[in-house]
Amino acid sequence: MAPDSRLWRHQLGEALTGFRRILPKAAVLFFLILVLLSSNAEAKAQAIGGSMSAVSAQLAVHEKPAQGDSLMLASLPPTSNLFNSSPAGRWSSRIQIPINDQPLIQKFVRFYQEQGRRTFKESLDRSRFYVPIMTEILECHGVPPEMISVVMVESAFRRNASHKGAGGYWQLLAPTARAMGLRVDGWVDERRDPIKSTRAAAKYLRSFYEQFDSWTLALAAYNAGGGSVQSALRRSRANDFWEISKRGRLPLITRHYVPKVLAAMHIMQNLEKHGFKSPGQFSNYDYESIWVQAPLRLEQVAQWIDVPMTQLQELNPSLRLDTLPPDSGYALRLPSGGRDKFDIAFEDHFRK
């Protein structure tokens, strides 16, 4: 907004000498107003521009939260930006993973459309709770967001999924999860946490990409291990997944795993074309986090802050026994706005 001209405009009938006395002071005042307005505008621009990066930073860093830390993803992108129904959507314009006409990819596309249709649809429905936050984390770690297809194949977005020792959304083995910074023990299994497990999986996938300079080989390594892929490349004297797969240098399950993920990715780039509908409106993942060093039960906390226990279970899925671990602190997630009630009840509880 322009400064008020009354602050510096001289009277029309004022003498020239009076004008010359006033002009320097008015000019200084005018300059100060301009500087103030410019500073305010810049501050507002920085606050708006930095709002999403602040969320990204919190998602990307794995650390003990300070008291009062919170996370809120509001005004999420529309579903069409995440699961495309047209070539103008997000993934179509940013695809970094080549999907060719390999027969195995086409085979699994048909499988998802036919025998596997029900499972794929149910997975899509569940995905609306997690896709925005998971893709945000993937991109923070330099992983293409379409790698969310791994969760589709591994667990169908079921946090309690497990197979041969692997668990959680990304089906990480316990040693791998711990190596990526997750806690897995009798009290806590962070493989079941959509935020923490995705952060670990993103680091894991990115490490393989940096090793092999290929996302298809990174997918193969995610399934078979980096050593198996490295050995297959060396014995085949090749640097392409399809070549080492054709020569049978990888386990059969891995030779099918990569095209299966790519087939899911292909369908998700254009759901309507393949006979699927976009998931419903994405939900906000909104909570406050507080560091607690006491073996509280979620049922007890739910009573303190007057929310359903199921809501706390959804926010704290890594708690195996619905109880905070007694041997160490835990970053307890509360529904947004619930911390004040918790603080009062917590203080009263330990005062007794």
Residue 69 half-sphere exposure, CB side, CA atoms within 13 Å? 19
CB-neighbour burial class of residue 60 (10 A; exposed 0-12, middle 13-18, buried 19+)? middle
Q: CA-CA-CA-CA torsion for 241, 247, 252, 257, nearest 10 degrees? A: 20
Q: What is the tens place of the pLDDT at every residue in 122-170?
A: 999 999 889 999 999 999 999 999 999 999 999 999 999 999 999 999 9
Answering whether pTM is above 0.85, one says no
Give the model's pLDDT for residue 185: 96
Greatest Cα pair distance in the chain: 97
Q: Domain 79-274 has what CATH class?
A: mainly alpha
**Per-domain boundaries in the chain:** 5-51, 65-73+284-351, 79-274
**Above 50 in pLDDT, residue 95?**
yes
Rounded (5°) CA angle 136-140-141: 125
> Which strands make up the sheet holding 286-292, listed edge to edge?
70-72, 286-292, 330-335
Give the model's pLDDT for residue 61: 31
Q: Which residue has the tokens 């379409």?
A: 146
**Above 90 in pLDDT, residue 90?**
no
| Pairwise pLDDT comparison (29 vs 46), residue with the higher score | 29
